[in-house]
Chain A
């Protein structure tokens, strides 16, 4: 039973992280039908920026929670800037191109960003400082769920609630929903579609960066390649939930996170990634619209 709880907790943590990244995929896909292959790289860059900032701050004598907050803040700002620039360079010129063109461009961007970080920093793993403090009240159940896990789950939950509020009640949220429904129509009624798309990339990047900071601090080490696998898995989660569907992405991420945790715990951790991909392949083949997505008939 305890083992089960441990696995559940670990699955929940994974799921929360996947959810943070998956939201970026799903929002972008919802609006411009593009698999933003480089999204995982934004997450990785977020983690790197946080590591660098916290490293610098530690050396200059800052400590504790102030490092965490500053590092996260700067990481988020940078991720947003990268996401914005990425869209402007690699996707905007291809908005009316055949469907595969922006996807290939996205793959190119992903390779570029990975190797940019590799060359600018290092190909090796870097130790990531444990930024999340240990809470005393978590002591009794620390063997099942420690403070970092709690922080990850709570932060993700809060981010997602924030996103929902943003999309439901703000002006930009309304514009995003309108653009998602019908881009041409939204433009006609005066929505600045370019801004909406930029905003979507920015919001998605912010969430991914939060994920990056949390993961770095939780796992304790990062390298330039962490974005790739996390990106693929988050994308899996987004598809699993029904791509373009925001609650779906969260649900898909949790399902995927738990599945992976149980599979790794009860079957074999070597094949962990196979399970994730297996889920993806099966979902795409048998229910390409995902758990919560609506089946769309292709227009002839």
Chain B
């Protein structure tokens, strides 16, 4: 313990040194003034000391865990609290009912601002669920996911401003365009190794933004497209408030739809192939799985949801410009997936809600949010790579049960 404290003191000293020029000194090169913020040094010292102690403790636990795993003492014997919560119908059912009720009445009891934020959060839930398939299930790290989001949003924006297409026609078109772009962009990069794929997709994401920014004739450049209509309801006139509530319910339906579909896929021939591809590409192909088709389908499927979400995003904001589609959005969705636990649907939903709503409600937090996302990504990888809620694999009924089933 003494040793621990001594070392943490050294760490604190190191970080005081490390952060000194950036945290303490602030120069104004125009007016030639230096500002010395000594108080920051104290915060850094205290902060890094505490964190170092926590870090040490966590590292020790981590080592213990991996040692146990090596000796075959799997700690998976006792499922985590979250998992038990999900498996026990006695707890699960009432929780679900309460949740459903809250979800239903939510827009009726809150103001338009809150409902609007919730819509945004739900859009990110859909994005998270989509990317979760590409990254979490199929193991294809996509750093340019925002490109497909942009494709969806601009599909609606462009179709509407040029041809007057409405929301309901544009919605499926946006999804399809997303999937189409997924296939077109996915095709040439099929053979790339995981980390190269990540960088190329990052490139695609950036290219998409630059093209939108510079192609004035179609996308109206940096000015963006304005006056995009909110979702319509058989041409009925709606106040902004009603329209927002309406969008909220559309979004809820879409989330349910996404959950339903990803759930079905997860435990299907296609979903298993995705996972096998993630686990071991060579073995997967050797077992007769067509790599190209499997990868493309995962890529396009993820892109499809981004396209759909993009259309709704455009209709929610009624205005889109290239600045909504930067690498930060890709990183945000990725941290949702990483935090939620790759492959886990519930985890992704919770992570999306937390990461989007928290900065909205905790103003102090919003400034630090990208900082925290970064830290969370690192810490999750080190201490909990399986995410907050680990993906639980389905258990299939034994043979006897199945045959009975078949005979029935």
**Do the two chains touch directly in the complex (Cβ atoms below 8 Å apart)?**
yes
Residues of chain A whose beta carbon lies under 8 Å from any beta carbon of chain B: 33-35, 45, 48-49, 51-53, 55-56, 58-59, 74, 78, 81-82, 85, 89-90, 93-94, 97-105, 107-117, 119-122, 126-129, 228, 232, 235, 239, 270-271, 273-274, 277-278, 280-281, 284-285, 288, 298, 300
Query: Which of A103, A111, A277, A278 has its CB near the most chain B CB atoms (within 10 A)?
Result: A111
With A100-B198, A127-B30, A271-B210 given, can you name 13 additional A-B contacts, CB distance below 8 Å? A52-B21, A52-B25, A52-B27, A55-B34, A108-B374, A111-B370, A115-B374, A121-B26, A239-B196, A271-B214, A274-B210, A277-B204, A285-B188
* Structural contact, A107 and B334, CB atoms closer than 8 A: yes
User: Contacts A52-B27, A278-B207; is A114 near B370 (CB within 8 Å)?
Assistant: yes
B378 to A112, Cβ gap below 8 A? yes
Chain B residues contacting A104 (CB-CB under 8 Å) are 141, 334, 338, 377, 381
- 15 interchain pairs (CB within 8 A)? A55-B28, A56-B27, A90-B382, A101-B385, A105-B382, A107-B331, A108-B335, A111-B377, A119-B367, A121-B26, A122-B26, A271-B210, A274-B211, A281-B200, A288-B196
How far in angstroms is the closest Cβ of chain B from A48?
6
B139 proximal to A (CB < 8 A): yes
Q: Which of B12-20, B94-102, B154-162, B259-267 is found at the contact surface with chain A?
A: B12-20
Q: Are B381 and A94 closer than 8 Å at their CB atoms? A: yes
For chain B, residues 370 to 388, give those with C-beta under 8 angstroms from any C-beta of chain A.
370-371, 373-378, 381-382, 385
- Distance in Å from the Cβ of A213 to the closest Cβ of chain B? 13
C-alpha gap A48/B20 in the complex (Å): 12
Count of chain B residues near A, Cβ 8 A? 61
On whether the beta carbons of A58 and B32 are closer than 8 Å, the reply is yes
Which 6 residue pairs spanning A and B have beta carbons closest together? Answer: A108-B377, A112-B374, A55-B27, A111-B374, A277-B203, A115-B371
Pairwise interchain contact B377-A232, C-beta atoms closer than 8 A: no
Per-residue 0/1 for B187-227: is the Cβ within 8 Å of any A Cβ (1 yes, 0 no)?
A: 01101111110111011101100110110000000000000
Taking Cβ atoms with an 8 Å cutoff, the residues of B that contact A are: 14, 17-19, 21-23, 25-30, 32-34, 40, 59, 62, 139, 141, 143, 188-189, 191-196, 198-200, 202-204, 206-207, 210-211, 213-214, 282, 327, 331, 334-335, 338, 367-368, 370-371, 373-378, 381-382, 385
Contacts between the two chains (Cβ within 8 Å), count: 173
Find out whether the CB atom of A277 lies under 8 angstroms from the CB atom of B206.
yes
Known: A78-B18, A270-B214, A281-B204. A128 touches B382 (CB 8 A): no
- Which residues from chain B contact A105 at a C-beta distance below 8 Å? 377-378, 381-382
CB <8 Å contact, B32 and A59: yes
Q: List, in ascending order, chain B residues with CB within 8 A of A235's CB.
A: 199
Distance in angstroms between the alpha carbons of A157 and B19 in the assembled complex: 31
- Measured CB to CB, the nearest residue on chain A to B24 is A120
Cα separation A153 to B408 with both chains bound (whole Å): 80
Tell me which residues across on chain A come within 8 A of B338, comparing CB atoms. 104
- Contact assessment for A288 and B207 in the assembled complex, using a CB-CB cutoff below 8 Å: no
Interchain CB contact under 8 A, B371 and A112: yes
Closest to A103 in B: B195
Cβ-defined contact, A56 with B25, below 8 A: yes
- Considering only CB atoms, which chain A residue lies closest to B15 in the complex? A85
A49 in contact with B21 given A111-B373, A285-B192 (CB within 8 Å): yes
A117 touches B33 (CB 8 A): no
Q: Which residues on the A side are within 8 Å of B19 (C-beta)?
A: 120
Whether B202 and A232, one on each chain, are in contact in the complex, defined by CB atoms closer than 8 angstroms, is yes
Cα-based distance from A108 to B374 in the complex (angstroms): 4
Q: Is the CB of A116 within 8 A of B22?
A: yes
Provide the bound-state CA to CA distance between A98 and B338, in Å: 14
- Residue of B25, B206, B381 contacting most chain A CB atoms (<10 Å): B381
Partner of B198, one of A103, A271, A274: A103
Q: Which residue of A lies closest to B58 (CB)?
A: A93
Contacts A85-B14, A90-B378, A107-B377: A100 and B25 contacting too (C-beta < 8 A)? no
How distant is A140 from chain B, measured CB to nearest CB, in Å? 32
User: How many angstroms between the C-alpha atoms of A94 and B334 in the bound complex?
Assistant: 19
Contact A81 B141 (CB under 8 A): no
Q: In whole angstroms, what is the CA distance A58 to B27 when docked?
A: 10
Contact B282 A284 (CB under 8 A): no
**In the complex, are the beta carbons of A45 and B22 less than 8 A apart?**
yes
Q: Which residues of chain A have C-beta atoms less than 8 A from B189's C-beta?
A: 281, 284-285
Are A108 and B378 in contact, with the CB atoms below 8 A?
Answer: yes
A110: B residues at CB distance < 8 A:
374
Give the distance in Å from the alpha carbon of A115 to the alpha carbon of B26 in the complex: 16
Q: In the complex, A129→B26 CA distance in Å?
A: 15
